[in-house]
Structure 1
Amino acid sequence: MNIIIIEDELKTAKSLENIILALRPNSKIVGRYQSIEGSVKALSEQPQPDLIFMDIQLADGLCFEIFKQVKVNSPIIFCTAFDEYSLEAFKQNGVDYVLKPFSKTDIEEAFLKVDGLQNFFQQKVVPDLGSLIDKLKTPLGKESFLVFKNQKYTTVATENIAFFYIRNETTTIMCFDKQEFSLSQPLDQITAQVSSKQFFRVNRQYLVNFKAIKEIEHYFLRKLFVKLVIETPDKLLINKEKTSNFLAWMEER
């Protein structure tokens, strides 16, 4: 199987290549590209591969610009840190949508989906699109976080987290039962991992679960004051530049 990787982070591309070759040693990585421009040139001038692994946010823009400039016939496994592009991805030959940081198991499962589709078409059987539709309906995002407290490791289900916040320069989880746990990841990384439908970054310090929001009030200078079902260490204010996006996010349900 000939495979190309379209990924602008060199470290991630190398890690992905190593996983691919470990899982499918008979495969060949025939190209590695970091930009829309380089990908379009390769897909236009060279035979298209059997499979493409593609990041969504590339060095020079979103990968969907590629499909506007060249017809891509290869199946695509999208690997990205953002879940909001899943519907558009599946419109563009998407076989699977893998969220970063991905594991060897994630890539193996993606390969199994490619194999399954190939078998369906070889047998001339209509593919089961139900699971694909269910995946589009299901909010994507990290389901739990590994934490360390009292000399023990445990996991905290994301649905039990009321909000993430920065305390003393450390990212902290606050659960609905008021348990707190520290995390090593920065808040920017966590924001990319959780469902954008379920969590909103109200400001630089707080990432809030929709289910934790009790009420919203107008505040001075066209800001919004957000009250949660449990008390926060700081007053949650959304500046006027973010208010429209926040209210639209609240309206999505």
Structure 2
Amino acid sequence: MRIVIIEDEIKAAKSLAGMIAKIKPSATIEAMLHSIESAVAYLSVNPQPDLLFMDVQLSDGLCFEIFKMVKIDCPVIFTTAFGEYSMDAIKSNGVDYLLKPFAAKDLEAAFAKMDNFRNFFQQHTQPDWQALISKLERNEGKTSFLVLHQNKYITVRTDQIAYIYIKFDAPYIVTFQQQKYTVSQTMEQLQSQLSSKQFYRLNRQYLVNFDAIKEVEHYSSRKLALQLSVPTEEQLTVGKDKMTQFLQWMENR
């Protein structure tokens, strides 16, 4: 069995590969990819593996973007740290998912399920990936967040969030009214709970609301510069590696 792992955390990818080696010693890990960009580049020029392990949340966006850019003709087992991605839709399409952190027995069960569906995939009847993606993308994300401010709990509506940024390793929510609130969740957790159509992760530090973007211009041949309707502490830029993806996100409303 030829396997490709798409996982942005190198430690997690190596751990998964090690578990696979113990459970399926005859399997070959053909590649370990860490982003949407690298996955698309690899799958565009290499034969499809027998099985894909795909982390939902990658460093440059949600893995579902991969399906829009390259044809996937093999079964996929999704992995995720969050349960907000309509996993029942994935199950109904003959694939499986592993909720992080998962144990060896969970991986064994996933392989057992794939073995049960082997004849199904050999008949070249693949899941309707576009229908699956549509179901998954219906998740509009949370409508509000509960934050502690001046010893009081208050609700911040998601549509009032202009951007979220990290300062001194702590995420802050900034509203269109320029109010700022600290939150206890990580940036990755916050991103997973927001609509990927409405919010975009520019880099490790900033997650911005589409409605907050006032202007986008070429900063240089290798970057785009963003100006938001709400002031930010530093100039926001999009690097060359994410320019195309960012502009597609801007366009596909």
TM-score (normalised: structure 1) = 0.51
Matches within 5 A, 1:53-202: 61-62=53-54, 81=82, 89=90, 92=93, 138-202=138-202
Counterpart position of 1:124: none
- Secondary structure of the equivalent of 1:219? strand
CA distance in 1, matches of 2:237, 2:80: 34
Secondary structure of the 2:140 match is coil
Does 2:247 align with 1:247?
yes
Larger Rg: 1
Q: 1:136 to 1:226 in 2, by over 3 A?
A: same
- For residues 71-106 of structure 1, what are the alpha-carbon distances to aligned partners after superposition, in whole Å with 9 as ceiling and x for unaligned? xxxxxxx98637677796386279xxxx99xxxxxx
Q: Residue deviations 1:109-129, cap 9 Å, x none?
A: xxxxxxxxxxxxxxxxxxxxx
The secondary structure found in structure 1 opposite 2:164 is strand
Q: Secondary structure at the match of 2:233?
A: coil
Tell me, yes or no, if the aligned pair for 2:85 and 2:136 is still in contact at 8 Å: no
How far apart, CA to CA, are the structure 1 residues paired with 2:137 and 2:205?
Answer: 30
Distance in 2 (CA, whole Å) between partners of 1:214 and 1:172 is 20
Q: For the Cα contact (< 8 Å) 1:83–1:140, is it kept in 2?
A: no
Change (3 A) 1:79 1:171: closer
Cα distance change on mapping 1:84 and 1:209 into 2, 3 Å = farther
SS in 1 for 2:166: strand
**Distance in 2 between the 1:225 and 1:215 partners?**
8
Aligned pairs, number: 163
Unmatched 5+ stretches in structure 1: 1-33, 39-59, 71-77, 101-133
Determine helix, strand or coil for the equivalent of 1:208: strand
- Whole-angstrom distance in 1 between the partners of 2:75 and 2:190: 33
Percent of pairs with identical residues? 41
RMSD: 4.3
Distance in 2 between the 1:162 and 1:82 partners? 25
Are the equivalent residues in 1 in contact too, given 2:85–2:139 (CA < 8 A)?
Answer: no
SS at structure 2 position matched to 1:178: coil
Q: CA deviation at 1:214?
A: 0.8
Classify 1:88/1:218 alpha carbon distance in 2 versus 1 (closer, same or farther; 3 Å): farther
Rounded Cα–Cα distance in structure 2 between residues aligned with 1:213 and 1:86: 32
Shift of 1:178: 0.8
Q: Which amino acid aligns with 2:53?
A: G
Alpha carbons 1:217, 1:225 under 8 Å: kept: yes
Q: Is the 8 A contact 1:212 1:229 kept in 2?
A: yes
C-alpha displacement at 1:189, in angstroms?
1.8
Shift of 1:210: 0.7
Aligned match of 2:106: none
